Amino acid sequence: MTPPPLPPDELIDRVTPGVAEATAETNRADFRTSGRQSVQDLEHALAAIDRRLDSYGRILEFGCGCGRIMVWLEPLAARCSLHGTDIDEAAIQWCRKNLPFAEFGVNPHEPPMQYGDAMFDLVYNHSVLTHLDERHQDVWMAELRRITKPGGTVLLTVHGEQVFEDNEIAMAGAGEDPRRWREQLESDGILFVEQDSYTGSAHPDFYHTTFHAPWYVFEHWGRFFSIRAYLPRAALSFQDIVVLERPDDDPPRPRPVAARPAKEAFGGPGPAADGETNLMARVEAELTREIAPRYASRFGRPGELARRVLLRLMRPYILIERDLDRELAGAIADTRRQLRMPPLVKDVLDRHSERMKRLEGDLRVELVRLADRLDRVERRGSNDG
Ligand SMILES: C[S@@+](CC[C@H](N)C(=O)[O-])C[C@H]1O[C@@H](n2cnc3c(N)ncnc32)[C@H](O)[C@@H]1O
């Protein structure tokens, strides 16, 4: 197979991370090898939900840049309809000219995009939400939900613990104190750093560096999509991949009570005692209260209750995971700073860190499994009912 075409260096530079010792030549080589690796990463992530790229009819790459990944997808074009979109006009022009097997479009900095509702079976990206603040992310999450078919899949990458830890080590190495960032990431679950190398670059002003804590992804992104898998370091061995599913239908809206009986009907004849009035007011408020979207369930209020209980049960695990992450990262950063580590100590630390990460991964898988079980129970319940 002839190697796919290579974009000009200035386009490659916009999508490859700035590595101090990089040259134009190493960047070009990296563009090729990392693109092919990203396709494998996508296949691995989809395997977690028993799917493959070629099992989807219409596929969109959101933020495709100058086609680092798309250049490798030509073999899919016979079976799938391939689309790419980005805000970068020059990159899209290059894609249009050089990758005729796919369709490309330029999208605005904020939604809506040029696509119709429920148009895609699969939407994926590599490293787009890793550059947006929370407001931009939220509007794009809603937009990705709009253009994805019910039951369709969305794969997004985030800068998770690994990238943040690398950053902490680099900061400590440069004599800076990363604790302020760590604290903010832990308390907010998301950290947007504007003081970065993108200031004054070819990218727009809103484009900087964002980190996510896994618990935030579960809690916040769970409002837009069902979370099917969270795969630490699954994208080019440094970013995390989040596998999302567009729910079948919109969350059930609470149905208004058609004709609510007058209050006296509950209290019987005569004025109700104060306690009873309060109780009735609470029952009524409960019945008309909006179900928070994050707890919305096909099974109505009982489902909502089950989701609340599940989240409550998960919270200690999430907090333990957060504490473990913090302790571990702190211990490793301290040790690395204080010691010029003999290889043996480094080995032990690395092994310990690997083990903790495996445990952390297992914990997440377990949480996703619990949520899946809840979904299945609900589905069974609504089919029976
Ligand atoms: C780090 S680059 C990654 C490019 C490509 N996904 C890859 O992996 O090679 C981030 C890309 O996201 C694009 N981008 C940023 N905000 C966007 C938005 N709101 N809509 C579409 N693309 C966006 C940028 O122009 C850039 O091409």
* Per-domain boundaries in the chain: 31-245, 294-384
Chain segment 160-189, per-residue pLDDT in tens:
999 999 999 988 888 888 899 999 999 999
3-class DSSP state of 216: helix
Chain segment 217-238, per-residue pLDDT in tens:
999 999 999 999 999 999 999 9
Read off the tokens for 43. 């296949």
Q: Which residues touch 186 (CB under 8 Å, ≥6 apart)?
A: 213, 322, 326
Instruction: Determine the pLDDT at residue 40.
Output: 97
User: On the CB side of 225, how many CA atoms lie within 13 Å of its CA?
Assistant: 31
- The Å distance, Cα 225 to ligand 1 centre, comes to 21
Instruction: Determine the pLDDT at residue 384.
Output: 60
Instruction: Determine the pLDDT at residue 250.
Output: 66
> Architecture of 31-245 per CATH?
3-Layer(aba) Sandwich (3.40)
- Asked whether the predicted pLDDT for residue 357 surpasses 80, the reply is no
3-class DSSP state of 123: strand
Give per-residue burial for 335-364: e unless 16+ CB within 10 Å, then b: ebeeeeeeeeeeeebeeeeeebbeebeebb
Question: Ligand 1 atom closest to Cα of 17?
Answer: 1
Instruction: Determine the pLDDT at residue 18.
Output: 56
Provide ipTM, 2 decimals.
Answer: 0.99
The residue whose CA has the least distance to atom 16 of ligand 1 is: 128
- The Å distance, Cα 130 to ligand 1 centre, comes to 9
Mean of per-residue pLDDT scores for the chain:
83
Cβ of 236 below 6 Å from ligand 1 = no
**Which of 78-92, 187-201, 288-302 has the least mean pLDDT?**
288-302
Share in percent of the chain as helix, strand, coil (round to 5): 55, 15, 30
For residue 36, how many other CB atoms are within 10 A of its CB?
A: 14
Question: Ligand 1 atom closest to Cα of 113?
Answer: 20
- Asked whether the predicted pLDDT for residue 202 surpasses 60, the reply is yes
The strands making up 120-124's β-sheet, listed across from edge to edge, are 103-106, 81-86, 58-62, 120-124, 148-158, 239-245, 226-235
Cβ of 68 below 6 Å from ligand 1 = yes
For residue 51, how many other CB atoms are within 10 A of its CB?
A: 17
Rounded to the nearest 5°, which phi and psi values hold at 247?
-60, 155
- The Å distance, Cα 283 to ligand 1 centre, comes to 49
Instruction: Determine the pLDDT at residue 354.
Output: 74
3-class DSSP state of 290: coil
Cβ of 128 below 6 Å from ligand 1 = yes
**Mutational test site, ligand 1, from 87, 124, 210, 238, max ligand atoms within 8 Å of CB:** 87
Distances (CA, A) of 258 to 255, 261, 281, 286, 300: 8, 10, 17, 16, 17
